[in-house]
Every structure is written in C-alpha cells, then in structure tokens.
Amino acid sequence: MEKVKIGIIICDRYRTCAGGKCFRSLRNREGAFSIYKDMDVEVVGFTTCGGCPGGNIECAPEEMKKNGAQVIHLATGFVVGYPPCPYISYFKDYFEKRFGLKVVVGTHPIPQKYYEMHKRLGTWDSPEWDEIIKPILCDEETRRAYD
C-alpha cells in the first residue's frame, strides 16, 4: 500500500483545537482526506498558521517537509471561519512554489451548520469558492455528522 506523509496547518483562531474532526475524517477518509482511500497516511506535523497574516507560514511547511511531508492540508477552519481566511489562495501558491509541496485546502467535511450560515451570507457564491470548497463539501448527511 502506498504511504503518503502529510502536514496539517490550522487557522490560529482555532489554536486550542485538538484536531478531533480532522483526525476523525482522516481515519474515515472523508472530506479532503477521501483522496487517500487506498493509501496509508502518516501525519508528520500539525500546527497553526501563527495568526494573521500567517506568522508561521514561512517556517512550518519547511519543518514539515524536513519530516517527510509530501502534502500540506490547510484545515477546514480556514474555509468555515467567520470570515474565511483571506490568505488561503496565497498560502497555497506560496507553499507550492517555495517548498514544492502539494497543497490541499481542507481536512474534514464542512459541518452543516457552517454550510447553512455561509450559504445565507453568500460567502461562497463565486467560481473561486466553488473550487475551494469542493473537496470538503460532501453530502448533507456527512456534513451533519460533523456538526
């Protein structure tokens, strides 16, 4: 079985998060982790961005890469927070260009309560956001399981 090593970076406003939803979705291969259905996955790093505008962004991926990370996941909190992180696309581009790492936006499925509120707010009403949330959108039943 192919093995992939990943790092997870979470939004600093959730710095006390223990990662429960991320690790559950990794174990169940749900949300953005569904791309690893037939792979063994090892988490080699888990940290925050360091707070706006990303004080930890320059060093965290480098450390994760030294630990063997092949993919960096920007946690779902970057997407579902109020407001969503305005630096998501920049972080993704920076990691890919600076460190040569694949970057996936998202970890666990979007919880239904966040999905409903962002729909009412119109947060994700653009083609760019359609692409960003695609890996973590899932079906309503799965989203409800992450409320």
pLDDT tens for residues 70-123? 999 999 999 999 999 999 999 999 999 999 999 999 999 999 999 999 999 999
**How does residue 1 score in pLDDT terms, banded at 50, 70 and 90?**
confident
d(CA 120, CA 96): 33
Sketch the domain layout of the chain as residue ranges: 3-145
Distance CA 111, CA 124 (A): 15
Model pLDDT, residue 24:
98
| Cβ(98)–Cβ(64) below 8 Å | no
Decide if 138 contacts 30 (C-beta within 8 A): yes
The structural architecture, per CATH, of the domain 3-145 is: 3-Layer(aba) Sandwich (3.40)
Question: 32 and 73 in contact (C-beta within 8 Å)?
Answer: yes
Among 42, 33, 35, 125, residue whose Cα is nearest residue 76: 33
pLDDT of residue 31: 98
